[in-house]
Amino acid sequence: MIRDIEFVKRTKDEISRITMNRSTMFFIAVGVISSEIIWQGYKRYRNLRWKNFFRGSVIKQKKRSLMEILFFTEESALCRPHLNSRNNCKKLNCAVANLNKLKKYLHSAKRTIDVCMYFFTSQQLGNVIMEAQKRGVAVRVIIDANMAQYDGNQGVAFRKASIKVRTKPSNNLMHHKFVIIDDDILITGSANWTMQALFGNAENVIITNHSVLVKRFVEEFKRLWEIYDKDFVESASLESQRIEIRQLKTIENR
């Protein structure tokens, strides 16, 4: 009888021990699985957070679309009196305000300024370009050979400032009027960069960073730069020699 009682007791103890071990294993298993679920969830959250962070950075770094149009009108001449003060007037198309905007874009140049201008006599814009060259911006200029002979053409001032200027004597006009800043911003339109154009004519200037447009003008400047392989001074000298030769022939034929 006593043995039976002891046997039953031992059996209960064994069953209790086994039950406790199973419970312990169950809770351990649940703990491991829960930890894994939490870890995987955290990794997904972390990856998603970083992905959104970098996506946000890309969005922030994406450049803003630029499209600005400046009009110069017959009334632009009325803005001349406050040109030296550089103060804008209340006119919708204030020529001084437009000129200041052009200066602002030139001042923004970090790496390069490429100028392709039929006639360039504006000292104010020329000075800004030379200032850019002094602070390390690479400047290249293409001008029309015929216009290069006129007094006041900025090509001479640019050459004195050690800016590369190219032209090419030709019976055809180099009639472009555009400027490229950092291969990113294009300034183009009908206006030569002269006082007459900016303070007397009806002209337009378009400023944009539209990649397709900018790329085409970058390619055109590169093409012209390779064709206009003569330095401004050398080209001007050659043209002067041609003029002298034509004059001598004219005298000889008289």
CB atoms within 10 A of CB 223: 10
Q: Which residues pair with 69 in a beta bridge?
A: 206
Q: CA torsion 208→73→173→122, rounded to 10°?
A: -80
Q: Which helix (H) or strand (E) holds 138?
A: strand 138-143
Q: How many residues does the chain have?
A: 254
One-letter amino acid of 118: Y
Residue 147 near residue 119, CB atoms below 8 Å = yes
Classify residue 65 by its DSSP letter. Answer: P
> How far apart, in whole angstroms, are the C-alpha atoms of residue 208 and residue 203?
17
Do the strands 185-189 and 67-72 form a parallel or antiparallel pair, or are they unpaired? unpaired
Q: Which residues pair with 127 in a beta bridge?
A: none
Active-site positions read: 175, 177, 182
Classify residue 193 by its DSSP letter. Answer: B
Helix (H, G, I), strand (E, B) or coil at 40: helix
> How far apart, in whole angstroms, are the C-alpha atoms of residue 114 and residue 117?
10
